[in-house]
Amino acid sequence: MDTLNYDQAIARLTVDNIEALARTANLGDLNFEEVVPKFMFIRRMLLLLAEQDRVELPSRTATEISNNLSALFSSMDQIEEFTPAQSDPVNARNQIANRVENVRDYFAEHVRPYVGAREVEATEQQIELEQSAEAARAASDEIDALLRSVRKSVGDAGADELSGHYGRQADQHQESARNYLVAVVVLVVLTFAAALYLFDSVEVATNEDGSEQWGDLVRQLTARLFFLGLLAWALAFVVRNYRANQHLAVLNDQRRNALLTYPLFTGSANSETERDLITAELVRAVFAMGDTGYADTNDRTVIEDQASLLGVLMSRRP
């Protein structure tokens, strides 16, 4: 059986290679779809011969099988190179199909008798099982891809909705901050003007005997300082509210930007682990109390805890 190389022949006659011979997409009516079942039959016969401990064939039969396989592989090359632009394509196509048919008939007449019908059926069932398993794997891959697509769509939709919410919050706080800034300027001017007006004419009155009226001065200063204190308190109030609103405007704008860029980063992720890390960073960006320079805090929430986030990610690993 040295004249027959089963492994080499079977490696050439893979299911993918055979199905690719149909060429229905680019040959139209001149496709070779009809020869695919014939190639599949020849492949089954070779598998049976290979599985039966290299059953001893007559030397003449082995030589004929080798010659027929050579003709078959030549036909495969011609099918792969076939083009409708060649001379008399219809006749050329029919000749190739006839040569494949002749090889198939040879295997049916001279090779099949060397393998029992039971083995033929067993191999056919095995091939069907392999094809079913392959189809199941393909379906599983499609389901996984669909689930990833659904998760991405849901995440993108949620991010888009939340980004709109934080965007509106940022605009509202920015508008409030501008109003408080105007109030700060007005109160600074009023406080400065009031201080000039109230303390410019302060003087100590004197009695008829020449003594100074310090008690009257204290009463005047107390009333004026009280009024000036009200202005100072109002100024501190609007300054604090300006800083708070400006701080919230910056934070909400950062959150909006994080949510808007979330689909871009998740779309470039190569694995679910990378997607989880990106989502964790998004959660941190949305819920963390950042230092904007207008207001800050040293309080840390659970969502900002690095160890907690890493624990969540590690728990998802198989």
According to DSSP, the residues that pair with 206 across neighbouring strands are 212
Indicate the SS3 state at residue 275: helix
Helices marked H in the chain: 6-12, 15-20, 24-27, 36-51, 59-81, 89-106, 117-200, 214-267, 272-287, 306-315
- Report the first-to-last Cα separation within the chain, whole angstroms: 49
Higher per-residue confidence, 298 vs 182: 182
Number of residues that make up the chain: 318
pLDDT score at 52: 61
Angle at 267 between CA 264 and CA 273, to 5 degrees: 115
For the segment 173-184, the average pLDDT, to the nearest whole number, is: 87
Q: Cβ distance 20 to 82 under 8 Å?
A: no
User: In angstroms, what CA-CA distances link 207 with 42, 193, 199, 213, 220?
Assistant: 133, 31, 21, 7, 17
Residues 6+ apart with CB under 8 A from 87: none
pLDDT score at 1: 38
**pLDDT of 300 strictly over 50:** no
Q: Cβ distance 242 to 181 under 8 Å?
A: yes
Residue 34 has what DSSP assignment? Answer: G
The residues spanned by each domain of the chain are 6-115, 150-315
User: What is the Cα gyration radius of the chain?
Assistant: 44
pLDDT tens-digit series, residues 256-285: 777 777 676 666 666 767 777 777 776 666
Return mean pLDDT, the chain.
74
pLDDT score at 268: 65
pLDDT score at 193: 85
pLDDT score at 184: 87
CA nearest to 94, candidates 41, 43, 31, 37: 31
Highest mean pLDDT among 2-16, 43-57, 206-220, 293-307: 2-16
**pLDDT of 217 strictly over 70:** no
Rounded Cα distance, 144 and 19, in Å: 25
Q: Is 211 exposed, middle or buried (0-12, 13-18, 19+ CB in 10 A)?
A: exposed
Rounded Cα distance, 262 and 269, in Å: 11
317 falls in which pLDDT band (50, 70, 90)? very low
What is the sign, positive or negative, of the torsion defined by CA atoms of 258, 260, 262, 264?
Answer: negative
Indicate the SS3 state at residue 57: coil
**pLDDT of 180 strictly over 50:** yes
For the segment 239-255, the average pLDDT, to the nearest whole number, is: 83
Q: Is 127 exposed, middle or buried (0-12, 13-18, 19+ CB in 10 A)?
A: middle
pLDDT score at 160: 67
pLDDT tens-digit series, residues 91-146: 988 998 999 999 999 888 888 777 664 455 566 677 777 777 777 777 666 655 55
Rounded Cα distance, 19 and 254, in Å: 54
pLDDT tens-digit series, residues 11-29: 888 888 888 888 877 888 8
pLDDT tens-digit series, residues 48-87: 777 664 556 677 888 888 889 899 899 989 888 888 888 8
Rounded Cα distance, 194 and 294, in Å: 28
Q: Cβ distance 281 to 312 under 8 Å?
A: no
89 falls in which pLDDT band (50, 70, 90)? confident
Instruction: Give the E-state strand segments of the chain in sequence order.
Output: none
For the segment 216-240, the average pLDDT, to the nearest whole number, is: 80
